[in-house]
Amino acid sequence: MKVLVPVKRVVDANVKIRVKPDKSGVDLTNVKMTVNPFCEIAIEEAVRMKEAGTATEVVAVAVGVSACQEQLRTCLALGADRAVLIETDVDIQPLGVATALKALQEKEQADIILFGKQSIDGDNGQTGQMFAALTGMPQGTFASEVTIENGKAYVTREVDGGLQKISTSLPVVITTDLRLNEPRYASLPNIMKAKKKQMDIFTPEELGVDVTPTLEVLSVEPPPVRAAGIKVESVEELVDKLKNEAKVIP
């Protein structure tokens, strides 16, 4: 069984981003970039499927600028067998990514496509579900447990009320939640090995797809700042403030 893992290059989760003064976007100069944390979890799950003998090949794919090769090399070091970059300078949006990935899937014919549930820069939470719609596949979103058995996927999903279990036919789209697994670190020998692994690069045009976005970002602003608060000295003072100043408790 082949597993395809779409990975996004994003700003590191620990970076406190700044909005550009001219409101044109977020300042990304000299900011540390990484594999989107949810995609790291997806790679880990795919590699575990291979180690367990469920999967035979793990292919990582990114859609974006040439520098995404760095993140794809990381995925190769973490255990992916080969990588594909669909290279574009367009500020690509979920429907464009899903369309490009659909064209790749037509070549790859993967059985399991493991997305992250959300990119931590865009916070869209759309791409996996869109890809599933375009390819007519079932989806197991926000997965905290996945088992592949007898030609079916069994997925435990983290939903607002608790947990839900579903089963689906294959091929299937899975999107990962935080508690699916804990990703490993790449070892030095594996980082060296990753340099020799295969990486193919296509353009959207070569795949015959148009990835032009239909959403235009008019402006980007920082969120409103909260007025500075105070420190209270004791629990009594806290209760007094909440009752008499903020008036939020009776």
Asked whether position 127 contacts ligand AMP by CB under 6 A, the answer is yes
Interacting positions 36-65 with ligand FAD (CB under 6 A): 37
Q: What is the smallest separation between the CB atom of 34 and ligand AMP, expressed in angstroms?
A: 12
Q: What is the smallest separation between the CB atom of 246 and ligand AMP, expressed in angstroms?
A: 36
* Backbone torsion region of residue 30, taken as left when φ is above 0, otherwise alpha when ψ lies between -120 and 50, otherwise beta: left
Q: What is the smallest separation between the CB atom of 55 and ligand AMP, expressed in angstroms?
A: 17
DSSP string for residues in 179-208: GG--PPPPPHHHHHHHTTS-EEEE-TTTTT
Closest to 35 (Cα-Cα) out of 144, 183, 240, 149: 183
> Coil, strand, or helix at residue 225?
coil
| Tokens matching residue 249 | 């408790």
In the list ligand AMP, another protein, ligand FAD, none, the entry touching 52 (Cβ below 5 to 8 angstroms by class) is none
Which one of 43-51, 63-71, 104-112, 212-220 is the stretch in contact with another protein (CB under 8 A)?
212-220
Rounded Cα–Cα distance for residues 178 and 14 (Å): 16
Eight-class DSSP state of 178: G
Give yes or no for a contact between 46 and 114, defined as CB atoms under 8 angstroms apart.
Answer: yes
- When binding is defined by CB under 6 A, the residue of 11, 120, 134, 191 that contacts ligand FAD is 120
- When binding is defined by CB under 8 A, the residue of 56, 91, 179, 200 that contacts another protein is 179
Nearest CB to another protein, comparing residues 71 and 127 = 127
Asked whether position 38 contacts ligand AMP by CB under 6 A, the answer is yes
For binding to ligand AMP (CB under 6 A), which residues are involved? Answer: 6-8, 36, 38-39, 62-64, 92, 94, 97, 115-116, 118-119, 122, 124-128
